[in-house]
Structure 1
């Protein structure tokens, strides 16, 4: 009898939910415009391999370089004046917003990437105080080079000396960056890049949580995923399970740090935050935020950069020549030396111009507003700027915007940085990425170390890239390459 009653209750509940969805959809903006129809039906995929490429096409075609996806309540722009307006001029009117926090709340909690106001200011101040210290930058340099010398290079050497020399470089870079950010931020070594390349349920869970959280934001009707979460079914059930595993890791890291104590002599960021709070849930959110920033973005940038470098041997040769001139045929051993490699810096920036780790970034307007290009923005509208599309705008980069050309960042051989509002890869204005310098150290050290020791060849001919859904850009299928040792 109880089973029968439960079944009747479940049928009633599902019927009620279906009615709610239908009513919700009826009250939402229904748009029959060409763009919204293409989005809803996914007909854009008949012509484009990636959503970001379709958006780029639409933005190029727009006179204002701004478009509207009405069914998403989303205004998307590639106009750098709009970007400056959102991130600097009218910063207070364009926070992350409650809708964004709800979408990523289960995964990121109250971490710095998912909050506004006082909580954001506090976390940013804490991180800024530590990351701005030269001692922390030197520590980052040491951590990165230790991981390169003792794990990355031995792994690549081992693979290059085998008959089957193919290596998924994207997987390698995810493991590498995960080890680095854990050691730097938490004083913990997960050893993901050991030569055996151990399978990691944790990293798989982290990837899945990122992917499914991002898919929430792509849904025209947000009520759908919220109901699935309430019923713990489908993608929301998988998301909950993956987050549970990530949480177990985060709490174990915190437990280990508490066990050691939060003394000032610990060279990790988590210890600094622990000096201000012992709330395990808050510290958990800090851990997840650092992982997302330090693992996924760096791995994405490195993967894209090596995909480009493998197709441009002249650029590789120039990087090697610059390093030889600087070090006088000796290994680079200091942070200041690395900073003087202008062509290498230009190459890293150019790689992220074409393949930014974060392809788009959204804010929510607090009140009705008008963007510099004349676009009206209603209160509550999601406003998105699109670094991937901006890197492909002729109006910003000239007619050779599709060329991989580090020289565009040099003036008389010295690196020259374009305004961040035209190149918001590290964001810009008040939310400028605090880990920018550490990320650049990591990217340049890896590029230099691998290019000096190895020649790199793509396993399959370069073609159109396909990206997997996620909070950061990820190559679908990875990046298969072959390494061969160079004569030193």
Structure 2
């Protein structure tokens, strides 16, 4: 009986889906700054999809109209997203009661190809364990001093000269691009011991940076913008469109990471050999 009902309801829903989308777009154009309506099964996915190219400005407008600067958007099925510009709410979620706000299966599945099962993509005991391990490293004085040195060097040798030159010659800069380059250089030097020189005066294109920015960040985010999660899963299965580009980008990042690891292993091996030689002759 249940199977028969599903066979009848699914075609009806698929026929009504374009109509619901059309109705939403018309109603959405009249009240752009208000929280969008939530529809059965798909929630507010139509709104999120229609504003996917300017999602952050659209959400900012809605938050500004919200008395609490916090809204909840319902996605497809039983998934919900909370957006907040209220510092007290952000502190409550990310600090005071962080264990109560897991990332959830939907977010974890969407980011697994890129983040795997690392600290940024797990909940519960796995997160606690990884946090305990990493906290010991980040609390060491030597690491904090190293981070300070790296950031200071990037500021004085690259960021400040570029900004000073632009001010002197009246050059227009894409400040978001400049800050992304600044952050990318720092992260690579701190995490990998590798300097991509992405913030050099010529502002070069770097294969690894493009893999992070255009590949992983953009195409992983597109999974959240899909009307239904099954859409990106089908693309992944068929290895087409954004999923194909995501796979290539992730492959490039993993290849880079493995090269760095192998180089560090070789360096340690050479140091150990030299140390054993010196001790042997002593």
**TM surpasses 0.5:** yes
CA gap 1:173/1:83 in 2 versus in 1, 3 angstroms: closer
Counterpart in 2 of 1:71? 76
SS of the aligned residue for 2:226 comes to coil
**What does 1:199-218 align with in structure 2 at a 5 Å threshold?**
199-208=205-214, 209-218=216-225
Counterpart in 2 of 1:253? 260
The whole-number CA distance in structure 1 between the counterparts of 2:51 and 2:200 is 42
**What does 1:76-475 align with in structure 2 at a 5 Å threshold?**
76=82, 78=84, 80=88, 84=92, 88-89=96-97, 92-162=99-169, 165-208=171-214, 209-261=216-268
CA offsets 1:431-476 (integer angstroms, 9 cap, x no match): xxxxxxxxxxxxxxxxxxxxxxxxxxxxxxxxxxxxxxxxxxxxxx
Counterpart in 2 of 1:279? none
Shift of 1:228: 0.6
Counterpart in 1 of 2:28? none
Q: Which runs of 5+ in 2 are unaligned?
A: 1-6, 25-35, 271-282
Count of residues in Structure 1 that have an aligned counterpart in Structure 2: 236
Shift of 1:232: 0.6
SS of the aligned residue for 2:76 comes to helix
The whole-number CA distance in structure 2 between the counterparts of 1:121 and 1:165 is 47
Shift of 1:158: 3.9
Counterpart in 2 of 1:36? 38
SS of the aligned residue for 2:130 comes to helix
Shift of 1:131: 1.2
Shift of 1:156: 3.2
SS of the aligned residue for 1:67 comes to strand
Shift of 1:57: 5.2
Shift of 1:104: 0.3
The whole-number CA distance in structure 2 between the counterparts of 1:180 and 1:127 is 18
Greater percentage in strand: 1
The whole-number CA distance in structure 1 between the counterparts of 2:139 and 2:229 is 39
Shift of 1:51: 3.2
CA gap 1:239/1:43 in 2 versus in 1, 3 angstroms: closer
The whole-number CA distance in structure 1 between the counterparts of 2:118 and 2:55 is 34
Counterpart in 2 of 1:276? none
The whole-number CA distance in structure 2 between the counterparts of 1:86 and 1:147 is 29
Shift of 1:236: 1.0
Counterpart in 2 of 1:331? none
Shift of 1:256: 2.0
The whole-number CA distance in structure 2 between the counterparts of 1:109 and 1:70 is 24
Greater percentage in helix: 2
Shift of 1:202: 1.6
Shift of 1:49: 7.5
Q: Which runs of 5+ in 1 are unaligned?
A: 1-18, 264-488
Q: Is the 8 A contact 1:96 1:115 kept in 2?
A: yes
Shift of 1:39: 4.6
CA offsets 1:336-384 (integer angstroms, 9 cap, x no match): xxxxxxxxxxxxxxxxxxxxxxxxxxxxxxxxxxxxxxxxxxxxxxxxx
Shift of 1:35: 1.5
Highest RCO, 1 vs 2 (Cα 8 Å, sep ≥ 6): 1
SS of the aligned residue for 2:190 comes to helix
The whole-number CA distance in structure 2 between the counterparts of 1:43 and 1:226 is 20
Q: Is the 8 A contact 2:99 2:124 kept in 1?
A: no
CA gap 1:227/1:43 in 2 versus in 1, 3 angstroms: closer
Shift of 1:250: 1.7
C-alpha RMSD of the superposition: 3.8
SS of the aligned residue for 2:173 comes to strand
Counterpart in 1 of 2:32? none
SS of the aligned residue for 1:60 comes to coil
SS of the aligned residue for 1:261 comes to helix
